[in-house]
Structure 1
């Protein structure tokens, strides 16, 4: 068998070596009974990562919205109004009126 040694990625779980598994991290409030300190640290890290990811997503969506609004304003100014095609049927996808 042959094994390759690789560096762990951000997605892989890497245990904290700074704090002992049974000791709470300094400055933290005491954990409720039955909650393992490693689980608490992992939950805090995941919460921080999700918060950062949501912030990045929000910025990306705001940029996308700005691009869409710019394209809409350019399109409305440049494009002359065109009549619908001859085979266009406005009521083709609507429901018939109920009796």
Structure 2
């Protein structure tokens, strides 16, 4: 392709066939540039989605930890309440 471009640069008159080739190359270049730009855009979207997913995971992990701690407190309180109730029942039975 470089050779063909160099040959065209030297011509003062460019034949129709060569002009058609130049137009075709220009169109291909434009299409390739559009594809590259779309790929970059999709990559940016993917990176944004990945970062958002990371934030969501961190947030959910924090929520999970808080829920677990709250549940452990509830279980501890229920265990204590059950023990107190059992002691009262045993005291009433005596």
Determine which structure has greater relative contact order: mean sequence separation of CA pairs < 8 Å that are 6+ residues apart, divided by chain length. 1
Larger gyration radius, structure 1 or structure 2: 2
When you count helix as a share of all residues, which structure comes out higher?
A: 2
TM-score, with length taken from structure 1: 0.46
